Amino acid sequence: MQNHSMPQTAGSAHPGMMSRHKRCRELWLSLATAGPGVFWLVFFLLVPFGLIAVISFLSRGPHGEIGLPWTLENYLRFCGFGLLGYDPLFPLILFRSLMLGAVTVLFCVGLGFPLAFFIAGLDGRHRNLALTLVIIPLWTNLLIRTYAWQILLAHDGWLSALAAFLGLISPGEALYPGWTAVTLGMVCDFLPFLVLPLYASVEKLDWNLVEAAMDLGASGAQVFRHAILPQVMPGLLAGVLLVFIPAVGQFVVPDLLGGAKILLLGNAIQLEFGSSNDWPFGSAITLLAMGLVMTGLWFYARMMGRRQEVGIL
């Protein structure tokens, strides 16, 4: 080879050396910038997650210690196959949690859609005000908000009186504790997470397409279905995920507003890692619930979004 004849071959005289140098430099740069984040993810997410995955296949000793042998018993128990024959306690807990998530999402979508369009229709100043009002509840501690609901919905509160007056409950009854209170608390907590991404989509809505649809003979409902929904789908999908996933695992609000009588996934996991001291079983619940929710959402995203357009999951 005539390495010296051309300037650009100066480097390729020792190609391995040069590129190794370069690669080293790039590695260092990547480590310095992405390193802390990667470290955080590895040590505080991946490692604990791996441990939980391993523990879920181990057995609990008589005093709560984790040990061999390997077993699938924790998973079978969650599915209902216990020592005393079939008992659907845990499948029911899972079902209840999923329902809570679904109901929360449903109400949030029902309220959030009109709200997002209303805010997007405001002029600049009022729009910022409205957005701030949507976000303000998030600045208050969740526990304080929840306790506030307890007071507002108690049997001597005016909301209960109003409900009784309207004939929704019998006089002397209260809205709290019960499902009404739980739903109300959940929807208020999670509404901003649906409204904000949805609003971002609605704000970018191309109204020309809406007019085109009307012009081509689409009635009101058809315009919504064929011209508006496809456009706001990314925001809606993001909002639904942001509400559904934490809502399924939520246990503070149902506990405080439901009167601590309803067992949900969150409570069950907390119980197994806490007072029951059964880490293998707690880990199994965690993994199964997560797996189920993730698979469900994956199908949901595929169905709703024809993935390449939505770009989530």
Partner 1 sequence: MRGELRKDEERPGESRASDPAWAIELERVARRFGEVSALDQVSLAVRSGEFFSLLGPSGCGKTTLLRLIAGLDLPDAGSVWIGGRDMARIPPHRRPVNTVFQSYALFPHLDVWHNIAFGLRMKGVPRAEQAERVGRIMEMVQVSNLARRKPHQLSGGQRQRVALARAIVNEPQVLLLDEPLGALDLKLRQQLQSELHDLQKRLGITFLYVTHDQDEALSMSDRIAVMNHGHIVQVGDSESIYESPRTRFVAQFLGSCNLIDGTIDGREGEAIVVRTAVGPLRLTSHPAASPPVPGQRCTLAVRPEKVSLAPRNGHLAANTLHAVVRDQVYSGAETQYLLSAADWSFRVCALNAGLNGRKYPPGSPVSALLPPESLIVLED
Which positions lie near partner 1, rule CB under 8 A? 206, 208-209, 211-219, 222-223, 226-227, 230-231, 309
Written as six digits, the tokens of 21 are 């140098």
What does the CA dihedral 100, 105, 106, 108 come to, rounded to 10 degrees?
120
The DSSP secondary-structure symbol of 226 reads I
Residue closer to partner 1 (CB basis): 216 or 260: 216
Q: Measuring CA to CA, how many Å separate 180 from each of 31, 53, 150, 185, 282?
A: 51, 36, 11, 8, 29
Q: Where are the beta strands (DSSP E) in the chain?
A: 59-60, 66-67, 81-82, 85-86
Cα–Cα nearest to 66, from 288, 274, 281: 281
Q: Measuring CA to CA, how many Å separate 50 from each of 43, 62, 146, 156, 269?
A: 10, 24, 34, 49, 17
CA distance 30 to 20: 15
Residue closer to partner 1 (CB basis): 152 or 210: 210
CA distance 77 to 300: 28
Is the Cα dihedral 7, 13, 19, 20 positive or negative?
negative
Written as six digits, the tokens of 246 are 């934490």
Residue closer to partner 1 (CB basis): 35 or 230: 230
Q: Smallest distance, Å, CB 306 to partner 1? A: 8
Q: Smallest distance, Å, CB 15 to partner 1? A: 41
Q: Smallest distance, Å, CB 206 to partner 1? A: 8
CA angle 116, 121, 127 (to 5 degrees): 75
Q: Smallest distance, Å, CB 303 to partner 1? A: 15
Q: Smallest distance, Å, CB 257 to partner 1? A: 40
Residue closer to partner 1 (CB basis): 173 or 211: 211
CA distance 262 to 33: 46
Residue closer to partner 1 (CB basis): 87 or 206: 206
**Are 146 and 257 in contact, with CB atoms under 8 Å apart?**
yes
Q: Smallest distance, Å, CB 120 to partner 1? A: 19
Q: Smallest distance, Å, CB 102 to partner 1? A: 26
**Are 265 and 248 in contact, with CB atoms under 8 Å apart?**
yes
Residue closer to partner 1 (CB basis): 33 or 219: 219
Q: Smallest distance, Å, CB 216 to partner 1? A: 4
Q: How far is CA 68 from the centre of its chain?
A: 34
Residue closer to partner 1 (CB basis): 87 or 211: 211
Residue closer to partner 1 (CB basis): 156 or 309: 309
Q: Smallest distance, Å, CB 117 to partner 1? A: 19
Residue closer to partner 1 (CB basis): 41 or 229: 229
